[in-house]
Amino acid sequence: MINKCAFKITEYIKYNSDISNSDDLDKINYVLQVILGELFKIIILILVFSILGRLHYFLFSMIVLISTRIFIGGYHCKTTLRCLLSSAFFFIITSLIVSSFSNVNALVYYGISILSILIIILYAPFPNFKRPVKTEKRRYNLKLISVFSVLTWICILLFKVDNPSYLNCGFSTILLEVLQIFLLGGENK
């Protein structure tokens, strides 16, 4: 459904603009698929977590994820349905299950922090095959930004967030994100 919609919009652009290069049209189609797929997914997830009464944890987890994943990269599903299901599973863990835990020992948070930074240093970025990282300089810059973005969230969580539910939600989001790149084998060159 989303691919058909993106294709129709791309066709409209092709016949009603000066863009006729097939590579450019393929890029436009891919971007439209991503935007429409993400919009669909976010609307569904907002509805689900609203019904579950956990919308605030979902939104917090999503903010942490978006602000780190853009640089770290991660697993990409081949279909919109798989993406929706894997995202739902991810956010159920972070926003429903882990956020319900009571106080966790601070050493656990420090352990997650160290492990996350080490995994990023060793394995990030993990780009999408449709948007490869083409130069070593870009790869290095993404790695540095990845470390910085995760360190920023770690500092915010450790020094500014007092609510254990948000702490658990934030740290589980970071941990699940970096475990993806570790389990998938690191850099996707």
User: pLDDT digit of tens for each residue in the chain (189 aa)?
Assistant: 888 999 999 999 989 998 888 888 998 998 999 899 999 999 999 999 999 999 999 999 999 999 999 999 888 888 888 999 999 999 999 999 999 998 899 999 999 999 999 999 999 898 776 677 889 999 999 999 999 999 999 999 999 999 999 999 999 999 999 998 888 764 443
Instruction: Output the CA–CA distances (angstroms, integers) from residue 142 to 66, 78, 99, 132, 165, in the order listed.
Output: 14, 24, 29, 12, 30
**Nearest CA-CA partner of 40 in 1, 86, 72, 10:** 1
| Helix pair angle (55-72, 80-91), 10° resolution | 120
The alpha carbons of the chain give a radius of gyration, in whole angstroms, of 18
Q: Name the pTM for this structure.
A: 0.88
- Of 98, 97, 94, 84, the residue nearest 61 (C-alpha): 94
Q: Tell me: cis bond preceding 164? Omega within 30 of 0 counts.
A: no
The span from the CA of 161 to the CA of 46, in Å, is 23
> Taking each helix axis from N to C terminus, what angle separates 164-183 and 55-72, rounded to the nearest 10 degrees?
30
